[in-house]
């Protein structure tokens, strides 16, 4: 291997790995964002895979020990004392205003390192260089996500009780029911109305948004990214028959949450690949409110929680008496509707769910 190219590759593999570690620590310890952590870890894992595949590309020249020889070649080419770049330091590099500023610098440094790896990697293996290019685009997406909705994502990761608000299931005025659910401990409310005119739906969304904001509760709109955006909601929830997530993201913007409903393992696996901010799974149990022919049950919740750090939201037929089964399956949150909003005492019903959460 050409020694200058080896030095360039070595420096930028190190630079990219270091940037990813700084970013991961911010997502983990500052934002408390499990989705951000998971995406950074996947990027780091895939970058390591590119290094291994680059080793394979020189197999013909180096024989069976190509991976070890590549590592040796990069390490042998390193010349830190003789690197003229180590002594060039700008004033701005010496100062960081806060932890966010540290992360921003790392998020800028990461794609720069990946671009250098991509370009010089072309001299060894164009296919691996193309993989590194794909990592660079993911780094751009990561920066947008962490800086624009990382705080909302972290807030959602702490949600324990997610309540759907549908007027037809309320025994009292729907907004009063929502207020009582919040008083009982609901961390997130979703406005779920399938049959309202757009004007009325938007009006209700704005009223519920104000209530949620007043109490620092997340607010999600069902099905309609346009209404969610106009109402300044925290996000939108999409079902399997709603528009694709990529189109919803174009409408909603990069700073809001998108959740997706799934009803079997195949749908769940597809949802994970699309990168939502949370995934609903269900139904967990048979429900008198919305009877289902197929109930995947807690097994789907266990399958989901074992495979991703993305928040999993079980839904369907959940009551305080069976919620413990879902906590045992690894869930930290439950989503309910009639079990809270149809209760005689909505605040008490919500509080029963909150007190059932394992401490």
Question: Any idea which residues carry the catalytic annotation?
Answer: 192, 261, 290
CA separation for the pair 168, 171 (Å, rounded): 8
Q: Nearest Cα to 153, choosing from 40, 260, 277?
A: 277
Beta strands in 60-137 (DSSP E): none
Matching residue, tokens 């970058």: 47
Phi, psi dihedrals of residue 84, rounded to the nearest 5°: -65, -20
Long-range contacts of 299-304 (CB under 8 A, 24+ apart): 299/329, 300/262, 300/263, 300/264, 300/265, 300/268, 301/326, 301/329, 301/330, 301/331, 302/329, 302/330, 303/265, 303/268, 304/262, 304/268, 304/279
By CB atoms closer than 10 A (0-12, 13-18, 19+), residue 248 is: buried
- The answer to whether 267 touches 240, Cβ cutoff 8 Å, is yes
CA separation for the pair 348, 354 (Å, rounded): 10
Number of helical (H) and strand (E) elements in the chain, helices listed first? 15, 8
Q: Which two tokens stand for residue 85?
A: 């770049």
Could you give the 3-state DSSP secondary structure of residue 163? strand
CA separation for the pair 31, 158 (Å, rounded): 11
- The answer to whether 162 touches 39, Cβ cutoff 8 Å, is no
CA separation for the pair 61, 49 (Å, rounded): 20
- The answer to whether 226 touches 251, Cβ cutoff 8 Å, is yes
| DSSP annotation of 28 | I
- The answer to whether 177 touches 341, Cβ cutoff 8 Å, is yes
Q: Which two tokens stand for residue 200?
A: 């009325």
Q: Which two tokens stand for residue 338?
A: 């009639």
């Amino acid at each position: 291997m050409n020694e200058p190219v080896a030095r360039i590759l070595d420096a930028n593999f190190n630079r990219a790995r270091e940037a990813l570690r700084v970013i991961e620590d911010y997502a983990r310890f500052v934002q408390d964002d499990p989705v951000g952590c998971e995406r950074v870890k996947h990027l780091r894992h895939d970058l390591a895979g590119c290094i291994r595949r680059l080793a394979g590309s020189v197999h013909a020249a180096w024989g069976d020990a190509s991976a070890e020889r590549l590592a040796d070649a990069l390490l042998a080419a390193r010349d830190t004392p003789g690197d003229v770049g180590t002594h060039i330091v700008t004033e701005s590099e010496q100062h960081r205003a806060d932890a966010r500023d540290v992360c921003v610098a790392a998020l800028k440094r990461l794609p720069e390192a990946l671009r250098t790896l991509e370009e010089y990697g072309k001299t060894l293996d164009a296919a691996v260089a193309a993989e590194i290019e794909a990592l660079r685009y993911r780094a751009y997406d990561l920066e947008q996500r962490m800086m624009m909705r990382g705080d909302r994502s972290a807030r959602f990761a702490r949600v324990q009780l997610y309540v759907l608000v549908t007027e037809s299931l309320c025994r009292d005025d729907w907004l009063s029911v929502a207020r009582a659910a919040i008083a009982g401990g609901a961390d997130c409310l979703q406005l779920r109305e399938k049959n309202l005119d757009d004007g009325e739906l938007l009006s209700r969304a704005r009223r519920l948004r104000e209530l949620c904001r007043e109490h620092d509760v997340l607010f999600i709109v069902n099905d309609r990214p346009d209404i969610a955006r106009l109402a300044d909601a925290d996000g939108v929830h999409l079902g399997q028959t709603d528009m694709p997530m990529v189109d919803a993201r174009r409408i909603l913007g990069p700073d809001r949450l998108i959740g997706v409903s799934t009803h079997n393992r195949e749908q769940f696996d597809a949802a994970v690949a699309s990168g939502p901010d949370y995934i609903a799974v269900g139904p967990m149990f048979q429900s008198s409110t919305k009877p289902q022919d197929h109930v995947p049950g807690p097994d789907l919740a266990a399958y989901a929680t074992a495979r991703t750090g993305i928040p999993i939201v079980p839904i369907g037929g959940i009551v305080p008496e069976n919620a413990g089964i879902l906590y045992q399956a690894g869930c930290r949150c439950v989503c309910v509707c009639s079990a809270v909003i149809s209760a005689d005492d909505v605040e008490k019903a919500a509080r029963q769910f909150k007190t059932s959460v394992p401490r």
